[in-house]
Amino acid sequence: MDRDESIQPPPEILPWRDAEENWFALWTRSRHEQVVREQLEQKRIETFLPTVTRWSRWKDRKKRIDWPLFPGYCFARFDPRDRLPVLKCAGVVSIISFEGEPAPIPEQEIEGIRRLVQSDLAFDPCPMIREGMMVEVVHGPLTGVVGRLVRKNEKARLVLSVDLIGQAVSVEVDAADVRPY
């Protein structure tokens, strides 16, 4: 009996097989996040580069600059089967992958970070924290956002994470505005 070379692995091994475009994390060269974003936008690929405004100081002046919230990473939505245009962008080191295939980021993680960045709330990048419980915000500008509760007093610290890249951002919320998820 001849060996059949056309046997394909079951669809559950290739989760992107019939999927639409998903969000993926791109690992970039140092300080190339905005260059990568601009190149992807020129190729009409949807991008997301969350930033935080910081004061930068030079010899003669101070200036407000938007710094990447997650240095070394830019997010893009694309079909993983058509990843060559993404990888050809100057500054892209690689697509964050699992077992050799681009690993999609859940839409809710990207949307949570997007809503936080667009809000007027004060936030800071923080290391990814594994302990604590998952909570959902039930009141205020982040209603529906799911994150990890870090501290619970009269105020709670909510950590919104992109687990795939081990990066997170934290924001203070009223403890009464969250519930277990």
The domains found in the chain, sorted by start residue, are 19-105 (3.30.70.940), 108-180 (2.30.30)
Pick from 84, 81, 54, 79: nearest CA to 68: 54
Do 168 and 161 touch, CB atoms closer than 8 A?
yes
Residue 174 in this model has a pLDDT that exceeds 70: yes
Please write the tens of the pLDDT for every residue from 12-28.
Answer: 444 444 457 999 999 99
Please write the tens of the pLDDT for every residue from 69-102.
Answer: 999 999 999 999 999 999 999 999 999 999 999 9
Would you put residue 122 in left (φ > 0), alpha (ψ -120 to 50) or beta? beta
Confidence class of residue 7 from pLDDT cuts 50, 70 and 90?
very low
Confidence class of residue 133 from pLDDT cuts 50, 70 and 90?
confident
